[in-house]
Amino acid sequence: MSRDVSKFQEDFFTNERGLADEFAKMWQEVGRFMRYEPNLVGYEILNEPIGANFYKNVVHGLAPNSKFLLPFYQKVYSKIRKVDKNNLIFF
């Protein structure tokens, strides 16, 4: 992974320039559109995320969940739950 990609990941998960806010709003709209879809199993927010900048701190790169991913997931989860209280949300 390049330094630029690693930096972008950290910026994304820490909401630099409002990136995570916009991502959460997008998921809220997906939830609003899909909430009554009978074949919907749930929402998978991200597939295999890595929420840290490996070049900045290797330890966070190995176990980023509590510092980077958990707050990010909580933000997205709350937006989806505003419009869909029933379907599963996968982390």
Residues 23-75: tens digit of each pLDDT: 999 999 999 999 999 999 999 999 877 766 666 666 555 555 667 788 899 99
89 C-beta neighbours (distance < 10 Å), count: 16
* pTM as predicted: 0.84
Nearest to 51 by CA among 2, 7, 3, 10: 10
Query: Please, which pLDDT band fits residue 19 given cuts at 50, 70 and 90?
Result: very high
pLDDT of the residue at 49 = 77
Question: Which residues have a Cβ under 8 Å from the Cβ of 25 and sit 6 or more positions away?
Answer: 79
